Structure 1
C-alpha cells in the first residue's frame, strides 16, 4: 500500500489548532476559578477590616465553597467564628480540617491548636485539656503547656499544676520554682483542712526546698506550728523568714508579737522589728512595736516609746493612718468633737489600710498570694495602699 504524505501535512495544522483550542479552554477555566475564590476572599478581608464581621463570614464561606481544599480559608473562617463567640461553628471548621487526610503535618498541628483555643474560649476545660495534650512534640508545645497550667490553676488541680510546671522548667521555659512552691502550699492547706497535719507539714518543707527564699512556705509553716501549739518552733520559723526575706516582715509582725508573749526571745523580736522598721518603715511593723511597748515587752534598759511610735512615723511619712491611731487616745481642747473627728479620720483612712494588686489594681482587706481579680501570683506587695 502506497503511503500518502499529504495526510501528514494536513494533520500537523489540525493537531496544532486542537492543542491551541484546548489550552485556551484550560486557561479560561483556571482564570475563572482563580478569579472566583480570591474575589470572595478579598471581599471578606475588606469586610473584616471595616469591622463588618457578618458580611466577612458570608464572604469567607463563599470562598471555602469555591475552593474547599484551601486550608488557609478554613483557618480564617474558624478564627472569625471564634471571635464572634460562635464556638461550635469554629469547632466544626477546625475538626473538619483535622479529618482531612491531605493536609500537611504543620497545618494539622495548627488546626489542633486552633481547636484547643476554641474549647478554651468556650469554657470547655476538659475538652481543651485533651486537645492541648495532643500538642506535645509540636511547635505549639510550650504555649499548650502554659494553657494547661492555667486550666489546672483554675480548677485547683494543684498536683497536675506542679507536674506541668516542672516539665516547663525542665524544658527551659522559665523559672517556675516559686510558682511550684505556691502549688505545694495550696496542697498543704487542703491537707490541713482535712486534719492531715503531717502531710501538710511535709508539703510545706518541700515547698521551702523548692524555693528557699520564697516567703509563703515559711509563713504557712509558722501558722501551722502556731495552731498546733508549737510556739517556739513557729517563732524560729518566722525569725528565719525575716533573715531570708526582710520585705515580708510586715505580713508576720503581729504573729511574731503574739508568739513572743510566751517566749523568752521578746528582746530579740523587738530588736528585729526595730531594725526592720529603721531600714524600711512599715505601718504593720510600727503597730507591732507599739503593741510590744504597751504590753511591757521591752528590755529594762530600753525606754518604751509606746504611742510615740506614731509621731516617730509621722516625722518620716505623711500617714493618715498613723495620725488617726495617735489621735484616738489623745485629749483635745474641744473633747466633745473628738468622736466625730475620729470617725471622719477612721473612714478616710480605712481604704488606705487595704492591699492592692500591682497587676490589676484589685484591692482587698487581706493579703493574697494569688490575686482574686487577675489570678496573678505574688502581685500583692506586703504593704498597705497608703505605703505604695
Structure 2
C-alpha cells in the first residue's frame, strides 16, 4: 500500500499547534502557582515584620494549603504557633512534618528539634527530654544537650545534669566544670557521712578555684564537731580566693570562737578588710572584739564608707540620755536597713536575704555577688 504524503503534511502542523497549546497551558499554570504561593508567603512575612501575628498565621495557612509539600512554610507556621503560645498546634505541625516520607535527613532533624522546643515551651519536660534524646549525633546535638541540662537543673536531677555537663565539655560547647562542681555539692547536701565527703572532694577536684566545695567541706567538719579543721579549710580558702571572704567571714569567726583561735581569725579578716571593706567581714571582726572595740570599728567604717547599716550597728551599742526613746528609734533604723542587707542577682535583679549559688529567679549559677545591696 502506498503511503499518502498528504497525511504527513497535515499531521506536522497539527502536532506543532497541539504542542504549542500544551506548553502555553503549562506555563500559564506554572505562572499562576508561582504568583499565588509566594504572594501569600510574602504577605505573611510582611504581617510578621509588622508584629501582626494573627494575620501572618492566616497568610501562612493559605500558603501551606496552596503548596502542602513545602516544608519551609510548615516550619514558619509551627514557629509562629510556638511564639504565640499555641503549643498544641505547633506540635501538630511538626509531628506532621516528621510523618512525611519525603523529608531529607537534615529537615527531619530540624523538625525533631522544633518539636522538642514545642514540648519544652509547653512545660512538658518528660516529652521534651524524649524528643531531645533523639537528636544525639545530629547537627542539633549541642543545642539539645544545653536544653537537657536546663531540664535536669529545673527538675533537680543532679546525676543526669552531671552526665550531660560532661558530654557538653567533650563536645566543645564550653567549660562546665564549675557548674558540675555545683551539681556534686547539691548531691553531697542530700548525702551524709563518707558519701558526702567523697562528693565534695570530687567537686573540689572538678573546679579547684570554686569557693563552694571547701566551704561545704568546712561546714561538714563543723557539723561533725571539728571546728579546728573547719577553720583550717576556711583560712586556706581565704588565702587562695580573697573574693570569697565575705561569704566565709562569719563561719570563720564562729569556728575561731569554738576552738579558741580568735587572734588568728581576726588577723585574716582584718587583712582582707583593709584591702576591700565589706559589711560581712566587718560584722565578723566585731564578733571577735570587745563591745568597745566593735563600736570603734563601726565608726571607722562609717568614716571610710558611707554606710547606714554600720551606723545602725554602732547606734545599737551606744548609751543616750533618753534611753526610753532609743529602742523604737533602733527598731525603725533596723527596719530601714533590711533591704540594704539583701543580695541581688546580677543577671535578673532578684533580691534575697540569703546568698544563693543558683538564682531562684532566673536559675543562673554564681550570679549573686558576695556583697550586700548597700555595697553594690
- Bin of the TM-score, shorter chain as denominator length: over 0.9
Residue of structure 2 in register with 1:356 after alignment? 344
Partner of residue 294 from structure 1, selected from 290, 293, 304: 290
Distance 1:201 1:336 in 2: 52
Residue of structure 2 in register with 1:100 after alignment? 100
Q: Displacement, 1:70?
A: 0.4
TM-score, scaled relative to structure 2: 0.96
Partner of residue 332 from structure 2, selected from 334, 344, 351: 344
- Structure 1: unaligned runs, 5 residues or longer: 296-303
Residue of structure 1 in register with 2:23 after alignment? 23
Q: Does 1:77 align with 2:77?
A: yes
Distance 2:46 2:262 in 1: 74
Residue of structure 2 in register with 1:299 after alignment? none
Q: Displacement, 1:336?
A: 4.4
Residue of structure 1 in register with 2:272 after alignment? 276
TM-score, scaled relative to structure 1: 0.93
CA 40–262 in structure 1, closer or farther in 2 if over 3 Å, else same? closer
Partner of residue 256 from structure 2, selected from 235, 257, 260: 260
Distance 1:46 1:207 in 2: 52
Distance 2:126 2:240 in 1: 40
TM-superposition CA deviations, 1:315-337 (whole Å, max 9, x none): 21101011011111212344443
Give 1:9-20 correspondences, 5 Å limit. 9-20=9-20
- Structure 2: unaligned runs, 5 residues or longer: none
Distance 1:97 1:287 in 2: 63
Residue of structure 2 in register with 1:207 after alignment? 203
Distance 2:322 2:293 in 1: 26
Partner of residue 306 from structure 2, selected from 302, 306, 318: 318
Greater Cα offset, 179-188 or 252-261: 252-261
Distance 2:48 2:354 in 1: 46
Distance 2:278 2:58 in 1: 61
Residue of structure 2 in register with 1:130 after alignment? 130
Q: Displacement, 1:135?
A: 1.3
Determine helix, strand or coil for the equivalent of 2:258.
coil
In angstroms, what is the RMSD of aligned CA positions?
Answer: 1.6
Q: Does 1:87 align with 2:87?
A: yes
Residue of structure 2 in register with 1:367 after alignment? 355
